[in-house]
Amino acid sequence: MDASQTKVTWEGEIVSVQPRSTVWRYLVDNRTHREIGYNVFVKGEAIGVDDGAALEFAGRGGSAYDFCVAISEKQQEKLCFRIGDRAKGTAWTPLYPNAEFADLYRAGALKAVKRSGADAPEMAVITDVEPCYDGTPIPRVFSSDYPGPPWAVAAPPLDVYSWRGARMLAKPCWKGKCFRCVWAAMANVTIQYDFDRNLVRNRFEPFCYGPLTCKNYKMGPARSVPCKGFSGVKDEGWLDDICVQWRSRPDE
């Protein structure tokens, strides 16, 4: 816990917009993904409101950006931030930095200072094809109709991500070829280590919500899932198959 939270004003160029998600893991019995907003990656500057000093960030996501701002779905719906836009706002450093990948959250006073004007199309959400077995419409996006990979387009609504499900993505891919892709995500992961004493472990893991046929995709090494009383438990990829099992089109 970081008791010395700092309020900042920030401004800069958006270099990626990805879903902000949480994942709960228990052994390889359960991996539950939840999409709770968006992570906006910015090249720019954040200044402490109280002392006027520029903040230094840990750079845990690599050098492709200076800091990452967590925003809500409503904020993204309203502002539709895209790569190349110049944006500004306020935000706070996180209370629990080991559980929150974003460098800044509780964002407010958000504004698009300048739109990029670049060709970053909005992917149409289609709900009238292949509904659920009980007739419930599914919010689908057909990535293959848009330029990619990576899909550096406008990020779709969160229910699109939620329905698609995600596969583990190799960290070098997330940092490299995939960084600008709207299907990439660095999740805040909670591992249930001990149920009796409710002990958890936190870490960050990259995932991909993109087409199963994407040529950039690499799973990377199996991921260990520590749990009291069990050793050597690893997520070797078959949970991915369960997470994306509803997709009927591999290039979707």
Give the interface with ligand SF4 as residue ranges (CB under 6 A). 149-151, 173, 178, 181, 183-184, 208, 210-211, 214, 216-217
Pairing of strands 30-48, 199-208: unpaired
- C-beta closer to ligand SF4: residue 69 or 214: 214
Cβ burial 159-168 (10 Å sphere, 16+ → b, else e): ebbbebbbbb
Radius of gyration over every alpha carbon of the chain, rounded to an integer in angstroms: 18
CB-based contact 191:203 (threshold 8 Å)? yes
We find the least distance from the C-beta atom of residue 182 to ligand SF4, in angstroms, to be 8
We find the least distance from the C-beta atom of residue 161 to ligand SF4, in angstroms, to be 12
Sign for the CA dihedral angle at 111, 52, 18, 29 comes to negative
We find the least distance from the C-beta atom of residue 218 to ligand SF4, in angstroms, to be 8
Give the residue closest to ligand SF4 by C-beta. Answer: 210
We find the least distance from the C-beta atom of residue 150 to ligand SF4, in angstroms, to be 4
- C-beta closer to ligand SF4: residue 149 or 165: 149
CB-based contact 42:15 (threshold 8 Å)? yes
- C-beta closer to ligand SF4: residue 93 or 216: 216
Q: Which residues make Cβ contacts (< 8 Å) with residue 196, sequence separation at least 6? A: none
- C-beta closer to ligand SF4: residue 37 or 150: 150
